[in-house]
Amino acid sequence: MKSLDFSSLEIAPELIAVVKELGYEQMTPIQAEAIPYLLTGKDLIGQSKTGSGKTAAFALPILNKIDLEIENIQALVICPTRELANQVVTEMRKLGRKHEGLKILALTGGQSGREQAQSLEKGVHIAVGTPGRILDHITRERIELGDLQVLVLDEADKMLEMGFEQEIKALMKELPVKRQTALFSATFPEGIQSLSRSYQRNPMKIIVEEAEGQSASIQQVVYDTEPEHKLETLMRVLQQHPSKSTIIFCNMKNTVNEIAEAIAERDVVVGSLHGDLEQRDRDRVMTMFRNGSLPILVATDVAARGLDIENLELVVNYDLPNQTETYVHRIGRTGRAGKSGTSVTLAGPRDTMKLLEFEKLTGGAFERPTLGFKNQLGLNKFAFQPTMQTIGISGGRKDKLRPGDILGALTGSDGLKGSDVGKIEVHDRYAYVAVAQGAAKDAFERLRNGKIKGQKFQIKIMK
Ligand code: ADP
Ligand code: MG
């Protein structure tokens, strides 16, 4: 049995201090297996479920290895979507906060390529991005990869699913052959094996199985419905299962829009997430969902994949996913960390076989209660009242704003109680702060009439 103690790792003491500060008490199983191995510089294939701490598993060895004096890219992390790339950047910046002068750059679409090129020009130690944008920088000769030592392919199966194979192949050609390559994937179809064969050397395979009875705390409910009554059934499901954090999964973005509109018509605050949204809108929706300002999120799988959302009470499968693994991913977002959760699936007459498969795989019996008919007309909007409200600030990291400055502006000189202030997220050019519903007006006025770190910003209550 490997030690789960971070201090058993042969890494820089600052890194061990940081994980302590972040409140990580011990390593997760994938970290305990992968970190010591990656520290040896060898190639690795890793698999473990979403939320098991894979980012830190590769980030800590990378941070340990980076030479800050060399202002060239030494580690490159490739992710399937912007969201995932941004999450990796956030986690790596957190873990690297004692590395003075460390520069981590996101290379994703939806942000200006020119600005990225300028940052690359100034020097970057770690780059994290999506295949298309990275390749674009390579093609335009804006990126220097001669000092690259570590390559990470994060959620590799998803990248193949999304059709990034050609891009990955093309950009691999540009990387130094002598490097360490780590590949993380939830599944191992032939495509992944061939990717590994082509680009890794004797990789060690580390698979962390889910614990027995993993889904025991997730109640899985199925309601039968006909396609033409689906929307109405959904509304009744929401009445029956009021919750402060619900994700409704659909297979297509048109359905996402349709449902979000139908819920909004019933005066419930709802957000939607699919591949066609602007980066800024996605960021806003995810922030608001995470910080408690949005009780319901309607999403496609791709848009929601890998999102680090904790304490989800309810997952609704409006459409059945086509793959069993997707079902497991979806319902795995609830019932985390010993909390109980509910998954509701709307099933049509033709879904019987699929349901049997899902039931078998999750090892839990489905419940099939009948759905009540009460209050046909609408949702009880009070049951879905968000606990928080998000305030947007027109300044961010580039304006030298830090979370502490915003907290200070809100709570200083007889201001809000600290307990009324929730998550604060500072982006490059804007920031979001969550405040308790009851304190939102007060917070808004304070920020609008006052200054933050001596500067005036535009303040907005986000809807
Ligand atoms: P994965 O990539 O496996 O889906 P992440 O790397 O996104 O998971 O981690 C999920 C969450 O767990 C993040 O919020 C991260 O900060 C947190 N985390 C990572 N390692 C630990 C740890 N050892 N102890 C507690 N929390 C951790
Ligand atoms: Mg991850």
Q: Give the mean pLDDT of 112-138.
A: 96
> Which residues, by Cβ under 5 Å, contact ligand 2, an ion?
54
Q: Report residue 404 CA to chain centroid gap.
A: 23
Determine the average pLDDT of the residues in 299-320.
Answer: 80
Nearest alpha carbon, ligand 1 atom 16: 91
CATH number of 388-461: 3.30.70.330
pLDDT at 339 over 70: no
Helix axes 190-199, 165-172, angle to 10 degrees: 10
The CA distance from 275 to 254, in Å, is 11
- Level-2 CATH architecture, domain 215-384: 3-Layer(aba) Sandwich (3.40)
- Give 176's pLDDT tier (boundaries 50, 70, 90): very high
Closest CA to 293 of 339, 249, 244: 244
Ligand nearest to the CA of 53: 1
Q: What does the pLDDT read at residue 436? A: 93
**Would the pLDDT of 422 be above 60?**
yes
Q: Is the pLDDT of residue 160 over 60?
A: yes
Q: In the predicted model, what is the mean pLDDT of residues 24-31?
A: 90
- pLDDT score at 378: 60
What does the pLDDT average to over 261-288? 89
- pLDDT mean over 71-93: 95
- Whether 53 is in the pocket of ligand 1, judged by its Cβ within 6 Å, is yes
Q: Please check the confidence at residue 413 and state whether its pLDDT lies above 50.
A: yes
2/166: higher pLDDT: 166
Predicted structure pTM score = 0.57
Q: Is 94 in the pocket of ligand 1 (CB under 6 A)?
A: no
pLDDT above 70 for 111: yes
Using alpha carbons, select from 436, 130, 82, 78 the residue that is nearest to residue 283. Answer: 82
> Which residue has its alpha carbon closest to ligand 1 atom 14?
308
**47 CA → ligand 2 middle, Å:** 10
What's the token pair of residue 250? 């659909």
Q: Where are the domains of the chain?
A: 6-207, 215-384, 388-461
Nearest to 90 by CA among 287, 292, 299: 287
| Confidence at residue 412, expressed as pLDDT on a 0 to 100 scale | 85
Supply the CATH classification number for the domain 6-207.
3.40.50.300
pLDDT in tens, 209-223: 765 444 446 788 999
pLDDT of residue 154: 97
Identify the helix (H) or strand (E) that includes residue 168: helix 165-172
Mean pLDDT of the chain: 89
Nearest protein CA to atom 19 of ligand 1, as residue: 53
Domains 6-207 and 388-461 share a fold: no
Give pLDDT, residue 212.
40
| Mean pLDDT, residues 46-54 taken together | 86
